[in-house]
Structure 1
Amino acid sequence: MTKVLRGGVIGAGVFGGYHARQYAQAEGAGLAAVFDPDLERAREVAARHGAAAFDDLDAFLSSVDVVTVASPGVRHAEGALAALRAGRSVYVEKPLAVDLEEADRILAEASRRRLVVACGHQERVVFEAIGLFSAPERPLRLEAVRQGPQSQRSLDISVVLDLMVHDIDLALSLAAGAPLAAEGEGDVAYSGGLDAVRAEVTFDDGFTAVFDASRMAPERRRTMRVVYPSGELEIDFLARSFRNTTG
C-alpha cells in the first residue's frame, strides 16, 4: 500500500497559503497541518483544505511527514532546523537563511540525519525546460532585471534576499568559474533595509553578471539577457517568452 505523505506548512501568510494548496492538490501527498504563532491565521489556511492548525511547533511536527517553511525570511533557519531535528525533510522558501552560518547549520543537520533539504529557486525549472543547463556553450555575460512596486511583503529581509537571490542562483548555476569580485550600490526607501540594488559580479573565467533588483519600481519587470559566443538569449519571465539567436 502506497503511503500518502502528510505535508505540513510553517507560516500562514501568502506563501504559506500557496504551499498549503499545492500539498492539498499533490498526488501522493496531502495537507495535514499548518503552523503559525498566530493560531487564527493557521486555522484560516488549514480550514480551506481540511487540515489541522497549530501554534505549538512540536505538536505540529509530530503530525506531519514533510515540512515546507514559508514563514518570514528571518525565521527560516529556526523552522528548518526544528523540522530536521524532528526527522522531517524540508522545503524552504528562499532565502534558505539570512546568513551563511545559519545556512551551513541547516545543511549540516540535513546531512547528519540523511534528510532532504531543498530551497525555493523555481526559476531553475524554467532554465531546465529551455535547455540552458545542457547548452554546449558557456555564457559570457548575464544581465538580470527583477523589479516590482512597493510592497509590504518580505520587509524583514533586503531586496537582495527577497528578489535578486533568484538571479544570483541562476548566474551561479550557469557559470563555469567562481565569483572573483563584486561591486554594487543600493537605496533604502521604506523597509529600513535595501529596497533597490544594482550589482555587478565578475568571475575568474571572464564571465560577468549584472543584477538589478528593486521593490520600489513603477511596475513589475522580470527579464534576463544571456550572451553566448554564438548569440544571445532574452527571457521575459512575466510574459513567459524568450528570443534565441544562438542557433
Structure 2
Amino acid sequence: MTPLRTAVVGAGYLGRFHAQKYAAHADCELMAVVDVNLDRAKAVAKELNCQAFDNIDSLLGHVDAVSVATPTRLHHPLGLTLLEAGLHVLIEKPMTVTEAEAESLIAAAARHDCILQVGHLERFNPAVVAAAALIDHPLFIESHRIAPFNPRGADVSVVLDLMIHDIDLILELVNAELVSMDASGAAVISEDIDIANARLRFANGCVANVTASRVSPRAERRMRVFQRNAYLSLDLQNATLDIQRRDPEASGPPTMAQIMHERLEPGRNDALADEIGSFVTTIQNKGQPVVTGHDGKRALAAAIEISRQLTESTQ
C-alpha cells in the first residue's frame, strides 16, 4: 500500500505531537510541518526528518492529508484552503470560531469528497469506549473537568478550552435533541470565563450537569452516568470505569444485596495515536470518521450558546 503523504499545520504544543504520530504510523509518510514561525517548524522538522514551510501553499499537490493544530481563529481559513485543494483534514477542537465557519468546512469536504475529522480526543479514551457499549438510555449525567491554570488555553473561555470535550461526549451518549441550556460562571484569573457550569436538557428527558474549571490545584476528569438499573462512573484521567447495577435476576423491593459492582480497567492508551490512526483508516477505507464535521459543529453550537449566556450574566 502506498504510504499516505501527511503534513501538520501548526508546530506548537499539539502540532508537534500530531507530527510525531504521523511519523510513527506505518501507513504514513510525514512530508512537512508548517508554521508561521519557520524556526519552530524547522525544529520539529529536524526532529522528524521532514520539510519545514511557513505557508500551506507549499503543501498543495504534495500531500494527501493534513492535521490543523493552530489557534482556533485560523482553523476556518486554513481548513477551507486545504479542503478546496482536495486534501483530507483532521482539525483540532474547537472546530472553528462560528457555526457558519463550521458549516463552510462541512460543505467544502462534501463538495470535494474529502474526509473532515474533528479532534475531540476523549472519544478515543478507553473508559469512554467501554462505557458507550453499556449506555443505552441515560437519565442524568454529571461531568467534572478541572485543571490548573495554563496560559496556553487562556485565549478562549474555559467552555471552548475544556468543557467542549464533555459537551461532545454527552451529546454523543444521549443522542437526542438538546432543547435548553442554563449556564453560570466567572472570570477568576484570566480576562475570560475560568470556571463554568451548564445544565443541559434533552428532548428525551435526560439532564446533564457539566462543570469545567481551569483554576484548580489539581487535574481531574470524571463523568457519572445514571440510567435505569445502572450507574457508571468514568475516571477519564486514569481510564477506569466503575459500574453499579441491580442484579437482573433480583425481584421485589431493591436492597443493597442486589447491587452488583464491577470495575473495568481497559488500560491507558495513546489517544492521539488512536485518533490519527482512525483518521488514516477512514481515508484508506473511504469511511466515516469517528468524529464528523457535523459532530464538531454540534458541540461548537452548544459551547457558543453556553458562552453567550455566560457573557451576558457577567456583564
Fold match by TM threshold 0.5: yes
Whether 1:223 and 2:222 are equivalent positions in the alignment is: yes
State the one-letter code of the partner of 2:29: G
Whether 1:178 and 2:177 are equivalent positions in the alignment is: yes
SS in 2 for 1:140: strand
Deviation at 1:239, TM superposition (A): 1.6
State the one-letter code of the partner of 1:11: G
Answer 1 or 2: which has greater helix percent. 2
Tell me whether 186-195 or 105-114 shows the greater mean CA deviation. 186-195
Aligned residue number for residue 204 of structure 2:
205
Aligned residue number for residue 243 of structure 2:
244
Whether 1:129 and 2:129 are equivalent positions in the alignment is: yes
Cα RMSD, aligned residues only: 1.5
Deviation at 1:131, TM superposition (A): 4.5
Deviation at 1:92, TM superposition (A): 0.6
Aligned residue number for residue 260 of structure 2:
none
Does the Cα contact within 8 Å between 1:160 and 1:197 map onto a contact in 2? yes
State the one-letter code of the partner of 1:191: S
Q: 1:170 to 1:136 in 2, by over 3 A?
A: closer
- Report the Cα distance in structure 1 between the residues aligned to 2:150 and 2:83, rounded to whole angstroms: 32
- Report the Cα distance in structure 1 between the residues aligned to 2:72 and 2:155, rounded to whole angstroms: 7
Aligned residue number for residue 112 of structure 1:
111
Aligned residue number for residue 138 of structure 1:
137
Does the Cα contact within 8 Å between 1:236 and 1:242 map onto a contact in 2? yes
Deviations 1:192-242 (A, max 9, x none): 222211111111121001111111111101000000111200011112211
Tell me whether 143-152 or 72-81 shows the greater mean CA deviation. 72-81
Tell me whether 21-30 or 117-126 shows the greater mean CA deviation. 117-126
Q: 1:61 to 1:154 in 2, by over 3 A?
A: farther
Does the Cα contact within 8 Å between 1:157 and 1:193 map onto a contact in 2? yes
Whose relative contact order is higher, 1 or 2, with alpha carbons under 8 Å and at least 6 apart? 2
Tell me whether 191-200 or 102-111 shows the greater mean CA deviation. 191-200
SS in 1 for 2:44: helix
Whether 1:147 and 2:170 are equivalent positions in the alignment is: no
SS in 1 for 2:138: coil
- Report the Cα distance in structure 2 between the residues aligned to 1:13 and 1:154, rounded to whole angstroms: 12
- Report the Cα distance in structure 1 between the residues aligned to 2:188 and 2:5, rounded to whole angstroms: 42
Does the Cα contact within 8 Å between 1:74 and 1:157 map onto a contact in 2? no
- Report the Cα distance in structure 1 between the residues aligned to 2:189 and 2:56, rounded to whole angstroms: 32
State the one-letter code of the partner of 1:214: S
SS in 1 for 2:194: strand
- Report the Cα distance in structure 2 between the residues aligned to 1:80 and 1:193, rounded to whole angstroms: 26
Deviation at 1:83, TM superposition (A): 0.9
State the one-letter code of the partner of 1:112: R
Does the Cα contact within 8 Å between 2:144 and 2:221 map onto a contact in 1? yes
SS in 2 for 1:153: helix
Deviation at 1:9, TM superposition (A): 0.4
State the one-letter code of the partner of 1:123: E
State the one-letter code of the partner of 2:143: A
Aligned residue number for residue 41 of structure 2:
42
Q: 1:90 to 1:131 in 2, by over 3 A?
A: same
SS in 1 for 2:153: coil
- Report the Cα distance in structure 1 between the residues aligned to 2:142 and 2:85, rounded to whole angstroms: 41
SS in 2 for 1:41: helix
- Report the Cα distance in structure 2 between the residues aligned to 1:174 and 1:105, rounded to whole angstroms: 26
- Report the Cα distance in structure 2 between the residues aligned to 1:240 and 1:131, rounded to whole angstroms: 11
Deviations 1:17-61 (A, max 9, x none): 110000000011021101111100111111111010001220133
Q: How does 1:76-95 map to 2 (within 5 A)?
A: 76-95=75-94
- Report the Cα distance in structure 1 between the residues aligned to 2:65 and 2:136, rounded to whole angstroms: 38
Aligned residue number for residue 25 of structure 2:
26
Listed as ranges, the gaps of 5+ residues in structure 1 are none
Deviation at 1:136, TM superposition (A): 6.4
Aligned residue number for residue 235 of structure 1:
234
Does the Cα contact within 8 Å between 1:225 and 1:233 map onto a contact in 2? yes
Deviation at 1:140, TM superposition (A): 0.4
Q: Which has the larger radius of gyration?
A: 2
SS in 1 for 2:48: coil
Deviations 1:112-153 (A, max 9, x none): 111000011122223663051x43631001111111111011
State the one-letter code of the partner of 1:105: S
- Report the Cα distance in structure 2 between the residues aligned to 1:124 and 1:29, rounded to whole angstroms: 22
Aligned residue number for residue 157 of structure 2:
158
Listed as ranges, the gaps of 5+ residues in structure 2 are 247-315
Equivalent residues, number: 245
